[in-house]
Structure 1
Amino acid sequence: MARLPLDAQLGALQTVLSRNTTLLRILERTAALDLPQWYLTAGCLFQTVWNVVTGRPPTHGIKDYDVFYFDDTDLSWEAEDAAIRTGRAAFADLPADVEIRNEARVHLWYEQKFGVACPPHDSVESAIDSFASTTCCLGVRLEADGRWRVYAPHGLADVFNLVIRPNPVLAPRAVYETKAERWRQEWPELRVLEWPG
């Protein structure tokens, strides 16, 4: 996979992710919600790849499906909660926990949850850039014409090669190590790289 040309990697990603029919339904239904700058992101994507690569069922070990959007015109909890409730209704019949979050609001609660300050994001992409592992920095959405838009600032090689690489731009070391250990319990084939000294 790592030696495929980039366009072939994108095709392989779509083929592999399409094995997870729940993920496909969430992509389609999220597109209909018309959330600004949205992406389906995080574990549901790279864990689907790990499952297919290792011969597991496509949804094995996936805790939830994260939908990020960006709306800095209204930073109130009420506006985000309205999007969450709309999504809850849209996904109610699916066998999945879908979490919708406005990334324009992350700086308002991040420090209380993780112990470090988070500068305000200026897009969903900047939020994805700050994940604890570069392997996790992946987002997919359906465009109006049905094409897949893929955001993968660190490429796809680590995702397909089962490598967990730290991304020390925001999340603390403990967050990275906790996530990596949980993932290794589900996917013991993973190669977890150490946090830089």
Structure 2
Amino acid sequence: MTAERLLTATGQPVQGPLLITPQVFADERGFFFESWNERCFRNDLMNDGVSAAEVECLQFRQDNHSRSSRGVLRGLHFQLLPEPQGKLVRCSVGSIFDVAVDLRSASPTYGQWVGTTLSADNHQQFWVPMGFAHGFLTLSDVAEVQYKASGFWNRDCERSLRWNDSTLAIQWPLQLAEVIEPLLTEKDAQAPMLSMLESMGEVFE
């Protein structure tokens, strides 16, 4: 496996999120790869500057699986303390554009985003650590997304950030999804802007 940082739209690397590319063994019969290896993942985090103590405390609490049709946008979601979540995301059917927004107020990239295409073809995974909002846009007719979460789902901690907040300026590839507007839940369509989350103290320190 290899892991790399992603760049913001302005070319700035963001510490935390990682794009993980597995080694795939393929031949005329099909393919095989390790979709999860704890030792490799922990090494990737430490190579990115995460302390050994923090890595040791990280455990995945639940696995989630979603199925979405073309043009569906889920997010941007995150959980606050005491049950924040890091997510290790992959797409096993179809393709998605996956996004993480830095909500760590002390971070030099606060309020900036990184994004990448995850697909059944590239087998890549996206690590979205605690302190980031996460969302994705479905690019294919159908996409199935699985992710490991480091915290349990907690309704009281769950928050959303508006997908089209102009201060974020996320470049969602709507043309690749072949839609003019994404398909959203009412909750996501009415999610607060970043400025409102700031005023309520609902960002990370």
Answer whether TM exceeds 0.5 for this pair: no
Larger fraction in strand: 2
TM range, smaller chain: under 0.3
Which structure is higher in RCO with an 8 Å CA cutoff and minimum separation 6? 2
TM-score (ref. length: structure 1):
0.27
Normalised by the length of structure 2, the TM-score is 0.26
